[in-house]
Structure 1
């Protein structure tokens, strides 16, 4: 009889341990949830306090506060929302004309970080004068990083179709991106070509791209391994318009550079180069096809296109 009771005692004790573990886990989860709520509220309050200081402090204080907002907006969608909802966007972009290089750079980079959250992109674009001043920093920024981050901000904002034309129509925006692509640091060139690639996807982009030196800059960028892949991709998109296909083909180095990219580029770069040449032949006139056909390696490609 005693032996028969032992399994029952063990089972009862086992059930008690399981219940205790479940209760401990529940308490832990409740504690973590409470801590998270506390952290969220603290971040929200912090964002409001920083925005208030940014609006009223001295230039030196504003530079420091802009840095704090920059760091806060760097991590997490919620923080980016808090910073934007707290009124940081107008307070930050007013620093874009600051004569304090650190303040300007921190303010611009904070806007870049805020823009990563899709809902904030519209808030930035709808803020009167903000786009104009982003372009101002792109053109006249006091530090290299400020100019690069201005290009990166345009890349971020141009991910939304409705904003592509607004950016292209903003005075000096496209020309400044071209200048950065041609003369910038490796990182600056990358930011510029990515922004130009996004803008190239808009169906009405071709005339501005033709008139503002984009075509020549992209054709030249094919020689730069840092940006060649994106440059070839942008050229492919632009050449869907027959005038641009003809213009690009008339560039002395365009075909040569695309051929070179096919030989030495990354797999994606090679793919983009082939696509660009195919588009060039489809949209261009007979002389374009003849120029491409002069390259021995393209005889098969031309036959495929003409079939």
Structure 2
């Protein structure tokens, strides 16, 4: 598909390579400028074949070069026009992929693409029977949704229900891209209610169950769930979905640092909203070992959230009359005493012992370090001695 543009690139570089007196950096820069200029001429042509060649060349040039993305910003409008024209699917896909590469890591191009009217044809491609076109459209929305300016326009275009539909029935790659796009869109407050109305949690949970828990996909699924369980409908949907809470607990145990932070945040939000309603469903999924690990190894936010959730999960809130101090060990012991199942309880006890051991070792290392840096000059001289020495 890109062989013609590859031939163009090789022919443009061959002439400079044959001249030994031409500096390599200069010839490379000249070749790049020439390729950019040619691509712009092609894409602005009235000839359909030249437009297609121009789109393919732009896609190639902008794949890894930020400089080319800036130089080819003028190609946005003719490429969007290609999407709108009633031409072949190969024209549509090449133009869409070129726009996708132009938008990567370039905020101005992201905004320009939406302003040029790209959303309407992209929305149509989301419903295409051509899976390649559908995947490219989903990937384009993922990239465009990274711009804060674009988020309200994307939701207003009707993209959210279609992205959720892709999440249900699309290819594996388009599902990954759809959940990431929805996660991007969810950071705009007005979009959360629109996402909730599409009942996305069953599809998000299904994707979360089968993806690698440390993956970016699991991280985005957890982030989206954390946003959605801020609403009663989201909490009900997650607990009603078979394996829903357990999928979040798995991310809490095995996810990336950011994914674990979102997972514990989601569970904490549920328990804070209605402790009596959600304490048992969370405890039932064996969350304690993962929470214990987070209190030691998580991000600062994860550690705080994990400790707060542990306090909420114990049998009853502590009162001032309690004799035992409110230490993490006592909180966990209280929870373990209420747990069913020897395996879960045993694992929690083992984790607690390891946590205490780590805490003791850290304290010992700290004391040793203090002892090493303490020298005789650090010892304060009695006032009488200082008076004697000064006389």
Global fold match (TM > 0.5) = yes
- Structure-1 separation of matches of 2:287 and 2:255: 19
Write the deviation string for residues 178-213 of structure 1: whole angstroms up to 9, x where unpaired.
Answer: 122222222212111111111122222221111123
Matched, 1:72 2:61: yes
RMSD: 3.0
Equivalent of 1:89, from 76, 94, 102?
76
- Structure-2 separation of matches of 1:232 and 1:272: 6
Corresponding residue number in structure 2 for 1:303 = 310
Task: Tell me how far 1:277 sits from its aligned partner.
Answer: 1.6
The structure in which a higher percent of residues are helix is: 1
Matched, 1:107 2:63: no
1:229·1:272 contact (CA, 8 Å) conserved in 2? Answer: yes
Judged with a 3 Å threshold, the aligned counterparts in structure 2 of structure 1 residues 261 and 36 are, in CA distance, closer, same or farther, namely closer
Q: How many residues align?
A: 271
- Structure-2 separation of matches of 1:63 and 1:283: 55
Task: Tell me how far 1:76 sits from its aligned partner.
Answer: 1.0
Judged with a 3 Å threshold, the aligned counterparts in structure 2 of structure 1 residues 244 and 278 are, in CA distance, closer, same or farther, namely same
2:39·2:55 contact (CA, 8 Å) conserved in 1? Answer: no
Select between 249-258 and 200-209 the one with higher mean Cα deviation. 249-258
- Structure-1 separation of matches of 2:275 and 2:124: 40
Write the deviation string for residues 248-269 of structure 1: whole angstroms up to 9, x where unpaired.
Answer: 3344442133234456x44445
- Structure-2 separation of matches of 1:41 and 1:219: 48
Corresponding residue number in structure 2 for 1:166 = 153
Residue segments in structure 2 that go unaligned for 5+ positions in a row: 1-19, 292-305, 318-391
2:167·2:174 contact (CA, 8 Å) conserved in 1? Answer: yes
Equivalent of 1:126, from 115, 120, 125?
115
3-state DSSP class of the match of 1:74?
Answer: coil
1:242·1:284 contact (CA, 8 Å) conserved in 2? Answer: no
| Larger of the two Rg values belongs to structure | 2
Judged with a 3 Å threshold, the aligned counterparts in structure 2 of structure 1 residues 298 and 75 are, in CA distance, closer, same or farther, namely closer
Equivalent of 1:213, from 171, 194, 199?
199
Matched, 1:139 2:146: no
- Structure-1 separation of matches of 2:262 and 2:278: 18
Task: Tell me how far 1:130 sits from its aligned partner.
Answer: 1.2
Judged with a 3 Å threshold, the aligned counterparts in structure 2 of structure 1 residues 166 and 198 are, in CA distance, closer, same or farther, namely same
- Structure-2 separation of matches of 1:305 and 1:175: 36
Corresponding residue number in structure 2 for 1:8 = none
Judged with a 3 Å threshold, the aligned counterparts in structure 2 of structure 1 residues 289 and 46 are, in CA distance, closer, same or farther, namely same
Select between 146-155 and 248-257 the one with higher mean Cα deviation. 248-257
Which structure carries more relative contact order (alpha carbon 8 Å, separation 6+)? 1
1:209·1:215 contact (CA, 8 Å) conserved in 2? Answer: no
Residue segments in structure 1 that go unaligned for 5+ positions in a row: 1-27
- Structure-1 separation of matches of 2:273 and 2:192: 14
2:205·2:244 contact (CA, 8 Å) conserved in 1? Answer: yes
2:42·2:53 contact (CA, 8 Å) conserved in 1? Answer: no
Corresponding residue number in structure 2 for 1:48 = 40
TM score, norm. by length of structure 2 = 0.61
- Structure-2 separation of matches of 1:120 and 1:70: 14
Judged with a 3 Å threshold, the aligned counterparts in structure 2 of structure 1 residues 296 and 64 are, in CA distance, closer, same or farther, namely closer
1:51·1:91 contact (CA, 8 Å) conserved in 2? Answer: yes
Select between 158-167 and 269-278 the one with higher mean Cα deviation. 269-278
Write the deviation string for residues 253-292 of structure 1: whole angstroms up to 9, x where unpaired.
Answer: 42133234456x4444555433322222223563123432
Select between 89-98 and 102-111 the one with higher mean Cα deviation. 89-98
3-state DSSP class of the match of 1:223?
Answer: helix
